[in-house]
Amino acid sequence: MGFQNDKAVVVFSGGQDSTTCLFWALEQFEEVIAVTFSYGQRHDEEIEVAKRIAEDINIEHHVLDMGLLSQLAPNALTRDDIEVEAGEDGELPSTFVEGRNLLFFSFATILASQKKAKHIVTGVCETDYSGYPDCRDVFVKSLNVSLNLAIGKEFVLHTPLMWLDKKETWELADRLGRLEYVKDETLTCYHGIPGDGCGECPACKLRRAGYEQYMEQKERKEL
Ligand SMILES: [Zn+2]
């Protein structure tokens, strides 16, 4: 039951970050499998976007049902009656789902084990992490150790965006030759609008500010 050293499972939501990670993984590894978790997101569109991109770039894609998350942790991403709000005074934003990454990364690793893949790639990022404790580097490293002990293999969890801000994530997409693709095809907006989104929600604002900063930097370099 050996590993395939050049095989990776990417946790893939169809958003800017995980799509950039997918293209990063395609450069790093011989074979890439994407996994999307369905947990009663407000917008089924998210799942559809993920399916479309996976089909477009012709990779194996699994959609796993994680509906129990919305039973355990009702939040603004899964429930229409909870507004999307930024956290105030050190409180977490209403989009926070407790333990989400713990569960997603664990299930992705179980899938990786079944597929004999050594690598698991996720788009978590400590720079813009809005206070989500399970986006921190120390959490991912700790979970990596726990998963290796739990399953008895030497998996490697990769977090290529961990120390990048949104501007640098756009820069990475550009370096991978996928800037336009990521801009046009991915969905980050809390209101379920792909590409440039609604322009008003916190996710759209962060995404656009990063894009504008990157384009400014790029133009300066090209002058
Ligand atoms: Zn939006």
Distance 43 CA to ligand 1 centre (A): 12
Burial class for 223, CB neighbours closer than 10 Å (0-12, 13-18, 19+): exposed
Structure tokens that stand for 108 in this block: 């992705």
Q: Where are the alpha helices (DSSP H) in 57-136?
A: 68-72, 100-114
Distance 198 CA to ligand 1 centre (A): 4
CATH 3.20.20.70 assigned to 4-165:
no
pTM recorded for the entire structure: 0.89
Structure tokens that stand for 124 in this block: 């978590």
DSSP code for 134: G
| Residue of 122, 129, 180, 123 lying closest to 156 (CA atoms) | 122
What's the rounded Cα separation, in Å, for the pair 9 and 108?
7
Domain ranges of the chain: 4-165
Distance 196 CA to ligand 1 centre (A): 8
Burial class for 54, CB neighbours closer than 10 Å (0-12, 13-18, 19+): buried
| Residue of 43, 8, 13 lying closest to 182 (CA atoms) | 13
Annotation: binding site for ATP: 12-22
What's the rounded Cα separation, in Å, for the pair 86 and 80?
16
Distance 116 CA to ligand 1 centre (A): 37
Annotation: binding site: 12-22, 189, 198, 201, 204
pLDDT in tens, 129-178: 567 889 999 999 999 999 999 999 999 999 999 999 999 999 999 999 99
Residues 101-140, buried b or exposed e (16+ Cβ, 10 A)?
Answer: bebbbbbbbebbbebebbbbbbbbbbeeeeebebbbeebb
Distance 205 CA to ligand 1 centre (A): 7
Distance 31 CA to ligand 1 centre (A): 33
Annotation: binding site for Zn(2+): 189, 198, 201, 204
Distance 191 CA to ligand 1 centre (A): 5
3-state helix, strand, coil split of the chain in percent (to 5) is: 45, 15, 40
The pLDDT of residue 83? 53
Distance 184 CA to ligand 1 centre (A): 14
Distance 83 CA to ligand 1 centre (A): 13
Q: Tens place of pLDDT for every residue, the chain, 223 residues?
A: 467 789 999 999 999 999 999 999 999 999 999 999 998 776 678 999 999 999 999 999 999 998 888 777 665 555 555 555 554 444 545 556 778 899 999 999 999 999 999 999 999 998 865 678 899 999 999 999 999 999 999 999 999 999 999 999 999 999 999 999 999 999 999 889 999 999 999 889 999 999 999 999 999 988 7
What's the rounded Cα separation, in Å, for the pair 179 and 27?
15
